[in-house]
């Protein structure tokens, strides 16, 4: 919207979002480390839960850092291509309706 290319917009957005995503992920993961390193009664259940939660957060962070900007780029590229193919048709529709209104 501000005149940047789609690629520049995706990279700028990824750069801006990178630090908050990592800080949130690391805070959450470090908070789950006691689950992951549990000992004593019921330790296996806690370790399994900790492993699952930490792995899920790592996966979600990777998706947020890499997949979201890439999907934005491809969706915007497709939308821009579709808008450009629809412009000539839209002009024809306007001409036809203006002739009918006369």
DSSP 24-76: HHHHHHHHHHHHHT--STTHHHHHHHHHHHHHHHHHHHHIIIIIHHHHHHHHH
> Cβ distance 7 to 73 under 8 Å?
yes
Under 8 Å CB-to-CB from 64, ≥6 apart: which residues?
17, 21
Residues 49-102: tens digit of each pLDDT:
999 999 999 999 999 999 999 999 999 888 888 777 766 655 555 556 555 665
> Cβ distance 69 to 13 under 8 Å?
yes
Residues 10-44: tens digit of each pLDDT:
899 899 999 999 999 999 999 999 999 999 898 99
Write out the two tokens for 25: 């992920």
């Amino acid at each position: 919207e501000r005149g940047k290319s789609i690629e520049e917009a995706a990279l700028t957005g990824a750069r801006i979002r990178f630090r908050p995503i990592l800080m949130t992920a690391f805070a959450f993961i470090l908070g789950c480390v006691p689950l992951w390193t549990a000992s004593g009664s019921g330790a296996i259940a806690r370790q399994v839960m900790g492993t699952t939660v930490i792995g899920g957060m790592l996966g979600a962070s990777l998706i947020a850092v890499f997949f979201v900007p890439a999907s934005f780029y491809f969706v915007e590229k497709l939308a821009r291509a579709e808008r450009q193919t629809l412009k000539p048709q839209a002009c024809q529709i306007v001409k036809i309706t203006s002739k009918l209104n006369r």
